[in-house]
Amino acid sequence: MPTPMLSRAFDDARVAQAEQHANPLHDFDRDVGRAVLQGAALAMRDVVEDRSDKVFRYVSAPTGSGKSCSAAAVIAAATLVIPEFTCAYVVQTVRQVDETGVLIRELVGDNGVTVWTNAHNAKLDEEERALAMEEHGTLHMPSSYQGDLKTAKVIVVTHALWKREMVNGVDKGVRCCNGKRRSVIFVDEHPDLTRIIERTPGDITKLRDRIYQVDPDHGYIPVLETIIERTDEAFKSTGMTYSPAELISCLDAYEFYDLPSMRPYVDRGVTEATARAQASDMEETCRFIVAAAKGCVFISRSQYPTLVAYEFEFEPGPGHVLLDATADLTGMTGMMAGMEKVPVQDVDFSNLEVFHLEQPKQFKRVDKVLKLQKTTEQYAAWIKEQVLANTEAGDDVLVVSHKGLLTHGYLPRTEDPEHPVDWQGRTVNIIHWGVGIGSNKYKAKTVVFLFGEFWKPRKVAIADSSAWRDRPPTKTFLAKASQAVLTGDVLTANDGNVLRWSKQLACRGRVRNIDAGGKCGEMKLYTSMDFDRLIQHLDALFPGCHPPTCIIPEEPVRLKKVDRLCRLLASTSRGVLWSDEIAKETGVEARHLSRTVLTKPKIKRTMERYGWTLVSAKDLGEPGKRKALARLAA
């Protein structure tokens, strides 16, 4: 627990923030603040006790609940009452580094916080600084030298620098100050800790040939010959979509562990840019070899064969606090050892109305849709049609779609709320999956549309789940990962990424405006995510939200019988559905209704969500032996 002195200083800092921002504190704000303070106090104790087994104390307070303000208040309070206190605040982007620096500076003064990024680098000349401003917008925090981080008591840096320090094992001043472990390190948002490296036999051969041209007797040559032989065998083999690959032992690869510079082996006479690219490519192959030697490698036969290795050099040490609204969704907190949750109050999402849009079959595989101009134009037209059909003139709308639609101009790129597009009287901003986490600039949006889902390749889920469990991918594990229907850890990692992005971008709109009682702002969310996934995880995504309203398209979408029954249960206003009616409307035969209901998990989930139960005619006071689905009384 935090000391009484630290708690009082924290409360004072939160009051000062509220006055500065003209935003009064409420009970919900205080509850979130206490959770952040508790997490920081536990992390500081972990540092004192050198508890390296404690990877993260994590606070999954909801988006818009003031986690960043609370962390800044912790920093200000601890700086005031603990003379030896030092801290790092780690965020994802340059823009967030600058904004977080300003937030902390408001409480600790101009000299109380140091920020460093490539755009806040004191070594930049005027032209380079102007380019940084052009890319990231106006930056308000002063520049510094990277070396200043090692002595600065409070710093703000990016995830990239924090991870690079761990991977390279070189003190950059992120986790230590003056050579001593920092008191606490706040990590804002889910960090991507697994790094994938894909290689083919040709990449290994290219490395061998370049080294051979310079030094035919180099010690790498026989090792590379062995790897080439084994990669060739792996590529010629057949079997599951994903299979183990034994390429090299740790002993044989020991010379690669220092990750030497490959600059001496680039082609002669090439430009500086080409030389850097060749050296970087060869060094990447060396990293692949090191990861493979540790067992972190498998072969993927999805689409085309490739060898997939992954790095997971994650040894953060004690003192870390993860601030992430979706920490409970991703799978990392459940699989990785040393993750301990700090309890915090949930937001009540009862003010959120959720609507499910049925994505037409021809648009299900967006990666294929975007390959052809005709189908891309059709998809963009369908998106605009859905927005217009489900909103009214005057609505303030945020649309989230896939990057390819914006990159090539099929939908207008209107990320700036100050410069929206007008769609028949609707104020519309459009962003793409993969950006926007942490942004507060869409908080006035009353309607949010999420088109599709943000998928990563399955090999990423395999690498993530293997790394989080600290277990190399075995044949049994990869056999499960090769199945059409995922189960276990790979499913958790795969779905976790989809759920994280869906919640994060849904919560860019007015739901992030949380009132004194912890209730979200009023907003409508339209999503075309997989219906069963939405039903299954609704409570985790939006606690307290009412069941989604299914919008049935005028032109029926081809669905399986079970899925048609799910949509019927979610959309009808009738209180009783007789088996013959169900058969006529969904194709589920009357005589099979009981078996379907009892054996299909997605049917059971939908019935539970919408309050249906299986009954007999007798239960309803009717003659005969028919079965029916009846809606339970509220």
Q: What is the DSSP string of 462-528?
A: HHHHHHHHT----HHHHHHHTSSS--HHHHHHHHHHHHHHHHHHHTTSGGG---TTSBPPPEEEEE-
User: Over the stretch 606-620, which tens digit does the pLDDT of each residue have?
Assistant: 999 999 999 999 999
- The arithmetic mean of pLDDT across residues 572-586, rounded, is 93
- The arithmetic mean of pLDDT across residues 370-393, rounded, is 95
State phi, psi for 431 to the nearest 5 degrees: -125, 175
pLDDT over 80 (residue 302): yes
User: Over the stretch 267-298, which tens digit does the pLDDT of each residue have?
Assistant: 989 999 999 999 999 999 999 999 999 999 99
pLDDT over 70 (residue 1): no
Whole-number Å distance between alpha carbons of 581 and 568:
11
pLDDT over 70 (residue 7): yes
Share of the chain above pLDDT 70, in %: 100
Q: Check residue 2 and give its pLDDT.
A: 76
462-471, 485-494, 551-560, range with the lowest pLDDT = 551-560
- The arithmetic mean of pLDDT across residues 20-32, rounded, is 89
Euclidean distance between the first and the last CA atom of the chain, given in angstroms as a whole number: 43
pLDDT over 80 (residue 557): no
User: Over the stretch 185-197, which tens digit does the pLDDT of each residue have?
Assistant: 999 999 999 999 9
For residues 2 and 77, is the Cβ–Cβ distance under 8 A? Answer: no
Whole-number Å distance between alpha carbons of 57 and 45:
11
Listed in sequence order, the DSSP H helices in 390-428 are 403-407
pLDDT over 70 (residue 633): no
Q: Check residue 462 and give its pLDDT.
A: 97
pLDDT over 90 (residue 555): no
Which band of pLDDT confidence, cut at 50, 70 and 90, is reported for residue 62?
confident
Q: Check residue 372 and give its pLDDT.
A: 93
pLDDT over 80 (residue 313): no
Average pLDDT, the chain: 93
User: Over the stretch 96-137, which tens digit does the pLDDT of each residue have?
Assistant: 999 999 999 999 998 999 999 999 999 999 899 899 888 888
Strands in 447-450's sheet, in edge-to-edge order, are: 421-423, 426-432, 396-401, 447-450, 523-527, 352-357, 549-551
- Residue 550 DSSP class: E
Question: What residues form DSSP beta bridges with 199?
Answer: 307
Cβ of 330: how many Cβ atoms within 10 Å?
20
User: Over the stretch 385-426, which tens digit does the pLDDT of each residue have?
Assistant: 999 999 999 999 999 999 999 988 999 989 999 999 999 999
